Amino acid sequence: MAGWDGQSPVAAMPDAWILHASAGLLVLNKPAGLLSQPGLGPHQADALITRVRRRWPQAQLVHRLDRDTSGLVLVALEPALHRALSIAFAERRVEKRYVADVVGVPTAEEGRIDWPLAKCQHRPPRYGVDPERGKPCRTDWRLLEADGSGCRLALQPHTGRSHQLRVHLQALGHPIVGDPLYGAAHPHQRMHLHASLLAFVHPLSGERICVQSPVPFARPSLPPHA
């Protein structure tokens, strides 16, 4: 199938990416390195929703993950369901959980980050903490395992700002391993951020749905954190 430019090929979506399918919705497991939706130009034509629409032309993303983040994405196959799920996300009735490997180890076992975020005008598409212009954000975190150089955190965002988890953790002093924008990139290592759980009530059927995806990367071996 041709891409948006009519020339670039778009690969098929493997069935293994479908972790849940019922009542007009799909919960998909997006790999790292794939856009959620197409960008500008032929080199950004391939995307998760483009692949989904090869089989379901009416499909719509309910939310997005960054290209370098892997994990669970919700797709609606009916307009009414898309509207209802979008409202559920806006009203924070969808539980989202992530797992991240970060540089360094926090001094506490758990915590809350509530620094407001805004786009950095001088360096888009980067975001940063901005008490004056920033929009309210909240991320709860919990330590899962650690050694002297790094640790694995469970993350629960209660807002859905662009790059929220990545910026909050960088500002906390513990950037995500492999993050190409916020300070812990490695040329041969993917970003260690994975959307591991989505839980919500189906707006039309009333069914409680909880889908989980295992973390696809091992904890890295890191040099001592200064």
Catalytic residue IDs:
66
Q: Percentage helix, strand, coil, to 5, in the chain?
A: 15, 35, 50
Q: Using H for helix, E for strand and C for coil, what is the string for 89-125?
A: HHCCCCEEEEEEEEECCCCCCEEEECCCEEECCCCCC
Tokens of 99: 């797992």
Q: What separation in angstroms does the CA of 137 have from each of 88, 89, 142, 174?
A: 17, 14, 17, 18
The alpha carbons of the chain give a radius of gyration, in whole angstroms, of: 18
CB atoms within 10 A of CB 190: 19
Dist CA 155 CA 139 (whole Å): 7
Output DSSP code: residue 157: E
